[in-house]
Amino acid sequence: MPSKTKAGAAVTPRQPDATLRGVKGDRYSVGDSRSVRSPWIWRGFFVMALVAFGLVIILAANHNTGFAAAWAVIGCGWLAVSMWLWRQHTRLDR
């Protein structure tokens, strides 16, 4: 049943598009996402991890070990996501 907006125009609810290529049936798969299909996403995460590890070196050299440890955790997370996306991407390419 259409609802009314403030202006009085009828609005019909959006129905899910059954022709989406990224969705198999009614389940979403990360392997079909654009993040896995594009090589630039995992490369971006890898570059962010390298920047984070550079910050770790700089902060540790300046005796800011708390911040260095926090950035090390962040960098490890970004590196893990990067490697996981890279692995999914290479599986998709085969």
| pTM of this structure | 0.67
- The tokens for 60 are 């540790």
Q: What is the pLDDT of residue 63?
A: 96
Per-domain residue ranges of the chain: 43-94
CA-closest candidate to residue 82, choices 52, 47, 53, 32: 47
| pLDDT at 76 > cutoff 90 | yes
Mean per-residue pLDDT over the chain, rounded: 82
24-28, 66-70, 75-79, 89-93, range with the lowest pLDDT: 24-28
Number of H helices, E strands in the chain: 3, 4
Pairing of strands 3-4, 27-28: unpaired
Query: What's CA 17's distance to the chain center, in Å?
Result: 23
